[in-house]
Amino acid sequence: MMIPLNHFFNLRIFTFLAAMLLLQACSQHKKVYESSCDDDKTFKHITFKNLVDSFAYYNNQYVEVKGKYEQDKDLAVLVDDSLFSRGNKRVILVDFSQDCPLYLTGTRTGFFDYDNNNGQLTPVNNKSITIRGRINSNNQGKLKTYKGTIEHISYVSL
């Protein structure tokens, strides 16, 4: 049985396009900012929902959680990526510390340094991030509005 020549041609085009797509996907790697201040700590990987539902349980524990980072002039928070879980009691304050300077892996570019390419701070607002830090259920912000704080941040992955 002979396979028509145009099938081989289509297969080659498909293989080429798949390889190009794979290469492009690999070139868009995550940016990771780390500090060595908590190298001796073990972080619990938990979901955002689990964290806010059991926030007091995790008090003074070190966790890794994923969420959407939002900031304005005087406030930085982590919220659930899903749209249905809005409300201040489902929002976690984020408190970066000068004791834990974050640097882009393999460089001396700090998380709060200006980007050499565009002169802007690290573009993280309204983006999904993974963050590691210590939970403080006692710091709930002004008027105890929020669930609590994740502080002493030693890892951010964009």
Pick from 21-35, 44-58, 88-102, 105-119: least confident: 21-35
CA 153 – CA 150 distance, rounded (Å) = 7
Residue span of the structural domain in which 45 resides: 32-157
Residue 10 lies in a domain: no
Please state the domain count of the chain. 1
Residue 37 lies in a domain: yes
User: Is the pLDDT confidence value at 58 over 70?
Assistant: yes
Residue 144 lies in a domain: yes
Residue 24 lies in a domain: no
End-to-end CA distance of the chain: 52
Residue 61 lies in a domain: yes
Residue 21 lies in a domain: no
CATH number at residue 136: 2.40.50.140
pLDDT at 42: 96
Residue 121 lies in a domain: yes
pLDDT at 81: 73
Residue 26 lies in a domain: no
For 15-53, how does the pLDDT look when each residue is reduced to its tens digit (9 = 90+)? Answer: 655 555 555 555 457 899 999 999 999 999 999 999 999
